[in-house]
């Protein structure tokens, strides 16, 4: 028995609760791919809050606390301004709201690139303060020594190749990668270098489909696609994108719901009832006995 947290849906509070831990593990995710084949694809979505994690957790294998929270939660122009403090706070919330999924937290820009030692200090803080299972960092061959440094010191690492949003200023935008032979070959080499360094899984983002397939076939660890291919070992999306919270979504996103319209409609009905003084009604007010 271990002490974890249970989110009380009636109060929205997380209460310490003794419960058997049945959470998936990083080795279990890594072992999904055997002999180059993943029979059961890995399901991964982003989560930024305890309540969101609670709703997604039963359906996912991995919850990613992505630095995409910069745009999704805070309205920033990119993920570059996201800080370690933000990732720590949101990572801890997602861990508290989940029981089943492996929780991985993004390392924000500027917290790991300078040296393996800098990366270890940042990653160690994330693991200590959030209780997450591992971290994700962007970059290929150049980051392989850092991945090896971290994994050798007990920190599980998920890699990220192809379109790397933290490098948007170098890439010049969010266009699909791998259209030239040279770039395609580099993406495959990047993935191989990360796998050789000990990454337990690799995200491949925003690449032309043959490259996503080539990466998946080239490395022994699971490859999780976002804007890649259904032939990857798993898939990840930004939850708010697939729920239709924004008017515009990337080409590779499928909208499974139109939550934005539902919220806007509910707010409009509420506003109309407040202005007409029909809310609150007898059911929502305390009457004398």
Give ∠ CA 225-229-66 in degrees, rounded to 5.
Answer: 20
Taking only Cα atoms into account, the Rg of the chain, rounded to an integer number of angstroms, comes to 21
List the catalytic residue out of 117, 129, 141, 205.
205
Tokens of residue 18, six digits: 């003794």
Count CB atoms within 10 A of the CB of residue 186. Answer: 17
Which H helix or E strand runs over 165? none
Q: Which residue has the tokens 């991964």?
A: 44
205 is catalytic: yes
Strands (E), 66-137: 102-106, 134-136
68 marked as binding residue: yes
Q: Residue 138 annotated as binding?
A: yes
Q: Give burial (CB, 10 Å; 0-12/13-18/19+) of 151.
A: middle
Is 136 labeled as ligand-binding?
A: yes
Cis bond leading into 184, ω under 30°? no
Helix and strand numbers, DSSP H then E, in the chain: 11, 12
- Rounded CA separation 239/47 (Å): 7
| Distance from C-alpha of 156 to C-alpha of 136, rounded to nearest angstrom | 9
The distance of Cα 18 from the centroid of its chain, to the nearest Å, equals 27
Judge whether 241 is annotated as a binding position.
Answer: no
Long-range contact pairs involving 12-18 (C-beta distance under 8 Å, separation at least 24): 12/51, 14/50, 14/96, 14/97
Annotated binding site: 67-68, 106, 136, 138
Q: Active-site residues: which are they? A: 205
Annotated binding site for Mg(2+): 67, 106, 138
Annotated binding site for 3-methyl-2-oxobutanoate: 67-68, 106, 136
């Amino acid at each position: 028995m271990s002490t974890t947290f249970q989110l009380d849906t009636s109060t929205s509070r997380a209460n310490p609760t003794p419960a058997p831990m049945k959470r998936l593990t990083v080795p279990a995710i890594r072992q999904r791919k055997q002999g180059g084949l993943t029979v059961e694809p890995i399901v991964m979505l982003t989560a930024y809050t305890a309540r969101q994690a609670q709703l997604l957790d039963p359906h996912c294998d991995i919850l990613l606390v992505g630095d995409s929270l910069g745009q999704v939660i805070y309205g920033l122009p990119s993920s570059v301004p996201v800080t370690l403090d933000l990732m720590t706070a949101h990572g801890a919330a997602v861990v508290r709201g989940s029981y089943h999924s492996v929780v991985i937290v993004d390392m924000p820009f500027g917290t790991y690139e300078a040296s393996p030692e800098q990366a270890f200090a940042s990653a160690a803080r994330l693991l200590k303060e959030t209780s997450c299972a591992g971290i994700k960092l962007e970059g290929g061959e150049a980051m392989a020594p850092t991945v090896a440094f971290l994994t050798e010191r007990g920190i599980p690492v998920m890699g990220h190749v192809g379109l790397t949003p933290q490098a948007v200023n170098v890439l010049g935008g969010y266009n699909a990668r791998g259209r030239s032979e040279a770039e395609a070959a580099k993406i495959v080499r990047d993935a191989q270098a990360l796998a050789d360094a000990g990454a337990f899984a690799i995200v491949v983002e925003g690449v032309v489909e043959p490259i996503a397939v080539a990466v998946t076939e080239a490395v022994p660890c699971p490859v999780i696609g976002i804007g890649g291919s259904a032939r990857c070992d798993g898939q990840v999306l930004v939850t708010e994108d697939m729920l239709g919270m924004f008017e515009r979504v990337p080409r590779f996103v499928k909208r499974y719901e139109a939550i934005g319209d539902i919220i806007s409609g509910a707010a409009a009905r509420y506003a109309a009832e407040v202005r007409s003084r029909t809310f609150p009604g007898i059911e929502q007010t305390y009457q004398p006995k």
